[in-house]
Amino acid sequence: MASVVTMLRCSSGSLLLSRSHPSCIPRSHSQLRSLYRHLHLHIQPSPSPPPSPSSSSSGYRSQTTLVRAMAHTEKEVVAGRTKVGWIGTGVMGQAMCGHILDAGFSVTVFNRTASKAEGLCKKGAVMADSPSAVAENSDVVFTIVGYPADVREVILGEKGILKGLRPGGVVVDMTTSEPSLAREIFAVAQEKGCDAVDAPVSGGDKGAKGGTLAIMAGGQQATMSTLAPLFKCMGSVTYMGPAGSGQSCKLANQVTIASTMVGLVEGMLYAHKAGLDVTTYLQAIAGGAAGSKSLELYAGRIQSRDFAPGFYVNHFVKDLGIALEECKQMGLALPGLALAQQLYVSLKAHDDGSLGTQSLIKALERLNNITLPQVSK
């Protein structure tokens, strides 16, 4: 890992490194970032960081740690050299992590239910016994878990990632979570000389299996570029802005999907009640303005009564609840979001929380005391 001891300005205006007195170092983090990004640094590789000068202050140590972190995370991510950690091997995580393994990266995994990671271990992943143990063996650690409380535990907890991640490491949370929590994780990571990215995804289980997910990322843009080879394994990434921006984008995505799903199932019920063949109806609208990814992914499953989860109702209710809370804080009224959230809550009340989001049809069928005819796949 590259180490930086002291930076001195030469008469030419360039920067050199030496073991000079810490008073020669720019004092603020913003100065260091500016120097790193805009001037030439000669970074001397060494097997381990040299000891700090005996007279160095805690500020000196934190600043040199920051420079080391930036030097590390600017490095190229390469299969066979970059060590990847993965926490959360559910419906989405198992497929996403599998693509990274297929690309030739070494991966250390952790899941609370160890049996759910067995398939990845058979492909070459190594099982760890805690998130911190994963981090100790990784340069970049991805998480995709259930709820914000889970995110907090696996990243900030006593056995969390940031307890084991070395300076210069990166944690990437792909869970749909709270923007404020993403900002908190980023701040804690920076204090430890690490980096953090919030990068939730959209595309469901099909997108995860096909490596075609839409990834919405918040954090430092330079880090996004560095991690591009890993993101490419899972889909396409769009940089949204500073920490928390990826989560805000995903919540807006969920607002859009929620209302789209309501429209999809209501249209299908209307067509059925009006005496139309629902399959023919769906074919007729697919190429027009009513066509959507939700129609493409879920209409056939709804007709065949396939409610297996690509994305759980329980998790969607969580996402919509976070979005509603964000709306409250922003003073924003979104009645369509509120209606969709209540319909999905009604599914949970009927013990359908473990079904996929396409099971919304059941809530509307109950309201109208009708059932769509089942169509074989």
Instruction: Give 86-132 pLDDT, tens digit per residue.
Output: 999 998 999 999 999 999 999 999 999 999 999 999 999 999 999 99
How crowded is the C-beta side of 351, counted as CA atoms within 13 Å? 0
Domain shared by 197 and 280, yes or no: no
Mean pLDDT on 166-184:
97
Domain shared by 271 and 226, yes or no: no
In-domain check, residue 78: no
Of 73, 107, 125, which residue is a domain's last?
73
How far are the Cα atoms of 79, 299, 359, 375 from residue 346, in angstroms, in the given order? 46, 21, 11, 25
What percent of the chain stands above pLDDT 90? 78
pLDDT of 33 over the 80 cut = no
pLDDT of 59 over the 90 cut = no
> 39: closest CA among 23, 26, 22?
26
Residues annotated as catalytic are 250
Of 243, 277, 297, which residue is a domain's last?
243
Of 218, 243, 268, which residue is a domain's last?
243
Domain shared by 193 and 271, yes or no: no
Q: Are 175 and 146 in contact (CB under 8 A)?
A: yes
What's the token pair of residue 249? 């984008």
For the chain, what is the mean pLDDT? 86
Q: Reduced to 3 states, what is the DSSP secondary structure of residue 41?
A: coil
Mean pLDDT on 267-281:
98
Tokens 């993101």 sit on residue: 231
Domain shared by 289 and 348, yes or no: yes
Burial letters 162-194, b for 16+ CB under 10 A, else e: bbbbbbbbbbbbbbbbbbbbbbbbbebbbebbb
Burial class of residue 317, CB neighbours in 10 A (0-12, 13-18, 19+)? buried
Looking up residue 145, the CATH number of its domain turns out to be 3.40.50.720
In-domain check, residue 122: yes
pLDDT of 25 over the 60 cut = no
Domain shared by 306 and 281, yes or no: yes
> 316: closest CA among 269, 275, 363, 284?
363
Give all strands (DSSP E) within the chain, no chain letters: 2-3, 6-9, 15-18, 44-45, 83-87, 106-110, 126-127, 140-143, 170-173, 195-198, 201-202, 213-218, 235-241
Looking up residue 296, the CATH number of its domain turns out to be 1.10.1040.10
- How far apart CA 15 and CA 44 sit, in angstroms, is 13
Domain shared by 118 and 220, yes or no: yes
Domain shared by 15 and 97, yes or no: no
Domain shared by 43 and 102, yes or no: no
Domain shared by 231 and 87, yes or no: yes
Domain shared by 238 and 97, yes or no: yes
Mean pLDDT on 146-166:
97
How many separate domains does the chain show? 3
Domain shared by 66 and 104, yes or no: no
Q: Are 187 and 244 in contact (CB under 8 A)?
A: no
pTM comes to: 0.79
Q: Reduced to 3 states, what is the DSSP secondary structure of residue 42?
A: coil
pLDDT value for 56 = 42
In-domain check, residue 164: yes
> 320: closest CA among 332, 333, 343, 337?
337
pLDDT value for 46 = 40
In the 8-state DSSP scheme, what is residue 356?
B
Domain span at 220: 83-243
Domain shared by 174 and 297, yes or no: no
pLDDT value for 310 = 87
> 41: closest CA among 63, 68, 76, 11?
68
